[in-house]
Each structure stands twice: as structure tokens, then as C-alpha cells.
Amino acid sequence: MGNKGSGKTHLLRAFSNEYLINQRTAIYVPLSKSQYFSTAVLENLEQQELVCLDDLQSVIGNDEWELAIFDLFNRIKASGKTLLLISADKSPSALSVKLPDLNSRLTWGKFIN
């Protein structure tokens, strides 16, 4: 988490590029551009070794996106092989997540400010 321009996108892209350079599977999803794609982009991502979701705050409050991200969390946990990195401009408790189950998932990990 961090303010706009603090380097979150740069770090997520660097992580995903490093995975790809080392012939590992990775995907970077810019949620700030979610108006150009549907939640279907999150399907089967648990098959990747690294999933980077950038700008989570862009889709918070949208029921369809919140449910899709919640489902992705559950699939990733069940797969046991995927690293999930998420950026946002606020901490999970400050995001105003509507779906309580997604809110609880967002507190599972480590946070870097």
C-alpha cells in the first residue's frame, strides 16, 4: 500500500518480469483498467506461480469484482502453489470492502507501507 507514485506498480511489474525471465509463470493485472476487461480475467489464475493485482482500490465497492477476487483468494489458497501480491493505496481496513469474506481474506497477508 502507498500513495500514487510510490512505486507499487513498478514493484509488481518487476516481480512478474523476474518470474517470467526465470521461466516461471506470472501475470500482472492492472485493476485500474478494469473497465476494459471483465472479471473473467481472474479465472484460472491459481495455475500461475505469481499473480499481481495492481490498484485493488479501483474495484472495491463493485460487487462482481469483490466476489471474483474473493473466489480467486480461495482458489489460490486451495492450490497451495501461487504467490499473490496485491497493491492498493490504502490498508485493507481503510478500503471500505463491501464483502465481509473478502475483507477477512485481505487481512491474511503481510502489508508493506
Q: What is the pLDDT of residues 36-69, one digit of tens each?
A: 999 999 999 999 999 999 999 999 999 999 999 9
Does the structure show a pLDDT above 80 at 113?
no
In the predicted model, is pLDDT for residue 104 greater than 50?
Answer: yes
Mean pLDDT across the stretch 94-102? 93
pLDDT score of 15: 96
pLDDT for 107: 85
Compute the mean pLDDT over every residue in the chain, rounded to the nearest whole number.
Answer: 91
Q: How far is CA 91 from CA 71, 82, 87, 88, 106, in A?
A: 20, 22, 9, 7, 9
Catalogue all structural domains in the chain, each as residue range(s) with its CATH number: 8-106 (3.40.50.300)
How far apart are the C-alpha atoms of 80 and 62, rounded to whole Å? Answer: 27
